[in-house]
Chain A
Amino acid sequence: SQQGEEDPQALSIQEGENATMNCSYKTSINNLQWYRQNSGRGLVHLILIRSNEREKHSGRLRVTLDTSKKSSSLLITASRAADTASYFCAIQGGKLIFGQGTELSVKP
């Protein structure tokens, strides 16, 4: 399968803790993107990291990319209840292909 595979499938943490989600893939990529989806809504783009980049930050988000291991991670620091959502990685070679997602639950 070309799609990203995410780990864990579900994650439950307390407010203030950090959340780490991982994405592995099998093909070569141009870039890798992370999206968030709140329940019953569309996907919202969070961050895009290109294949020649190793790390990117956006606010409380930190994304790393290791092309030698074909893996990426999304770290959300100091999580909040409002971060509760599903998080998807998407790999772009030609088309953009989405993983199955990680369901994050942040308990107040």
Chain B
Amino acid sequence: DVKVTQSSRYLVKRTGEKVFLECVQDMDHENMFWYRQDPGLGLRLIYFSYDVKMKEKGDIPEGYSVSREKKERFSLILESASTNQTSMYLCASRNTGGGGQPQHFGDGTRLSIL
């Protein structure tokens, strides 16, 4: 089974801090994704990556950056955390394949910015 591991289930940080959320997958997937999930807004794509050192903006990239130095690891960075970034953050990975492939999710990080 594919395993996507997010480094923290719960995280509390202060406004203005630089925050790192880490995600590791063990299935050699090319594609990795970061979403945030908020009540009433569903899942929104922040950034994604199709390969090492590649990154693409999703729908809501403002205030975030990402890093993918190794294939298995995709990091989400909040450059200067703000209270409106309090949310559930979900990482996912997906294999590249014809006909569509499912995304495999980690358990999420519930981030609170005080």
Q: CB within 8 Å of B: which residues of A?
A: 3, 30-31, 33, 35, 40-45, 48, 50, 88, 92, 95-96, 98-101
Contacts and interface: CB of A to CB of B under 8 A. Distances in A.
Contacts of A43: 43, 90, 92, 103, 105
Contact of B42 (A31, A96, A101): A101
Interface of B: 4, 40, 42-43, 45, 58, 90, 92, 99-108, 110
Say what secondary structure dominates the interface of chain A: strand
A89 B90 CA distance: 16
Contacts of B108: 40-42
A95 B103 contact: no
A45 B42 contact: no
Contact of A44 (B45, B101, B105): B105
B99 A31 contact: yes
Most chain B beta carbons < 10 A, residue from A3, A50, A98: A98
A71 to B, nearest CB: 18
B4 A50 contact: no
Given A42-B105, A42-B108, A99 B42 contact: yes
B103 A45 contact: yes
A96 B90 CA distance: 14
